[in-house]
Amino acid sequence: MDITAAQNIADIHGSGENVSVKATIDGIEIYVPLDPDNTEYAEILRQVAAGTLTIADAD
Amino acid sequence: MSKAAELAALIGGQKALGHKNLVKNGAMVVAQRATSVSGNTAGGIKTVDRMNPEISSAGTWTQSQSTDVPSGQGFVNSFKLDCTTADASLSAGDVCILGYRFEGLELQRLNYGTSGAKNIVLSFWVKTNKTGNYVVNFQNIVTGGTNRTCGKVYTVSQANTWQKVEFPIAADTVAGIDNDNALTAIMYWWLASGTTYTSGTLSNTWENTTNANIAAGLNVNLADSTDNEWYITGIQLEEGDVATAFEHEDYSTTLAKCQRYTATLGGLILPKMRESDRMRANTYKFPTTMRAAPTIPAMTDGSSISVIVQSISTEACFCYTTVPADGYGSEISSGTVISAEL
């Protein structure tokens, strides 16, 4: 799984919390839920922990 | 067992309830993503739902939903792997495999890891131009323990001829199967492999996993020629010692089962939510509760304006966009594939 970009998506209701991650995985832009059971999010967490990926702040 | 006891067991068993097959989409009828995708060098589910090739430095492949089927069995589709760039010299760790992944919730009825563990039997139809010995195996991924594996060699002696393969698997009373929605077991059909997985001895009863034993007995390399192709259909995993006839089911039933892992979004309307910035928003409920909250590709509405996906749960997602002026439509057409695959 080739993850080349990741950015948090903030709650539009103003809670200040992030609600998903917009990432580019294998060349495709996708929205990834903050669910550890989601295969892509689990990989994002693994790469962040390994220091090979940084999730950018939300706009 | 007496006839009366057999009847009682049948009435109370899953087979009588019409849910004997633990494999979803075993007849290959559902292909929500596409029916044919070429250029596969790394695998992944691209066509037939639940059918997950795993390829590592073992040629290039087209995966597709085929209409080539065994005659007289009620099938209309098969899953096909077609080699388009050959690799006749595999390195040790190179593989081409078809995988089918289970979540633990699906397999609890087998009572694995207890004295009441049940025997199961795998059956499937297969066809290929390349004769020789192939391997199919079943792996139990044991959280916090040692993985377990058992396998079977099946021989294709007649090229280009459909044959049915049956693989009885004795119960494993040693290791249980995690009772959760995570990847817990995998069925593998080995088509090409380097020595990392073939240099040992295959066990047709459950044993702790040793890489060298997993595909031992495989003596073909399906990746060695662009003439090679391999078809499979009618995959069934059921309780018991003898394979029974394939459990055909209506398309909508199979589709609904597959939608736990993959679904398509379509016809999503984003009505006005806020006037100040012309925000349009809506919640889209998925066809069924998914295994996990799904991944959703970036989408645009009917006016090519980006749609932001906000919160995503196993049941629904909340999307919004802002349009530059009143009069813009905010409708997302069908075809967006969402995924909660294992």
| B287, B300: one domain | yes
Q: Which residues of chain A have pLDDT under 50?
A: none
Q: Give the pLDDT of residue B303.
A: 79
Is the domain of B229 the same as that of B335? no
pLDDT value at residue B238: 97
> Do B218 and B86 fall within a single domain?
yes
Q: A-chain residues within 8 Å CB-CB of B313? A: 33
What per-residue confidence (pLDDT) applies to B16?
54
Claim to verify: residue B208 and residue B242 sit in the same structural domain: yes
Instruction: Report the DSSP beta bridge partners of residue B262.
Output: B339
User: Are B209 and B326 in the same domain?
Assistant: no
pTM over 0.95: no
pLDDT at site B327: 73
Question: Are B222 and B269 contained in the same domain?
Answer: no
Residues B210 and B62 in one domain: yes
Q: List the single residue in B310, B313, B342 with the smallest CB-CB distance to A11.
A: B310
If you measure CA to CA, which chain A residue comes closest to B279?
A12
Domain CATH for B324: 2.60.40
Q: What is the pLDDT along chain B (342 residues), one digit of tens a residue?
A: 566 555 555 544 555 556 899 999 999 999 999 999 999 999 899 999 999 999 999 999 999 999 999 999 999 999 999 999 999 999 999 999 999 999 999 999 999 999 999 999 999 999 999 999 999 999 999 988 999 999 999 999 999 999 999 999 999 999 999 999 999 999 999 999 999 999 999 998 999 999 999 999 999 999 999 999 999 999 999 999 999 999 999 999 999 999 999 999 877 888 888 877 888 889 999 999 999 999 999 988 777 888 999 999 999 999 998 888 877 767 777 788 999 999
Q: Which residues from chain B sit within 8 angstroms of residue A35, using beta carbons?
A: 292-293, 312, 314
What's the pLDDT at B8? 52
B237 and B326 share one domain: no
Show the DSSP H helices in A1-59 as ranges: 39-50
Number of compact structural domains in chain B? 2
pLDDT digits (tens, 9 = 90+) for B115-152: 999 999 999 999 999 999 999 999 999 988 999 999 99
pLDDT of residue B332: 77
- CB contact under 8 Å between B309 and A9, yes or no, is yes
Of B232, B258, B284, the position where a domain reaches its end is: B258
Binary contact (B298, A22; C-beta < 8 A): yes
On whether the CB atoms of residues A53 and A3 are closer than 8 A, the answer is: yes
Question: What single-letter DSSP state applies at residue B169?
Answer: E
Joined together, the tokens standing for residue B29 give 């009828």
Provide the ipTM.
0.94
Between vectors from CA B147 to CA B146 and to CA B149, what angle results, nearest 5°?
135
| d(C-alpha B1, C-alpha B212), whole Å | 40
Q: Which domain holds residue B314?
A: 262-339
**Which DSSP letter does residue B127 get?**
E
Residues B252 and B269 in one domain: no
For residue B131, what are its two tokens? Answer: 């004769």
* B292, A38 Cβ separation under 8 angstroms: yes
Whether B226 and B266 map to the same domain: the answer is no
Distances (CA, A) of B180 to B103, B185, B187, B294, B315: 7, 11, 18, 17, 18
Contact state of B293 with A19 under an 8 Å Cβ cutoff: no
Task: Kindly report each contact of residues B284-288 with a partner whose C-beta sits within 8 Å and lies 24 or more positions away, as own/partner.
Answer: B284/B316, B284/B317, B284/B318, B284/B319, B285/B315, B285/B316, B286/B259, B286/B314, B286/B315, B286/B316, B286/B317, B286/B338, B287/B256, B287/B259, B287/B263, B288/B256, B288/B259, B288/B260, B288/B263
CATH value at residue B167: 2.60.120.260
Which of residues 279 through 308 in chain B touch A, CB cutoff 8 A? 291-298, 308
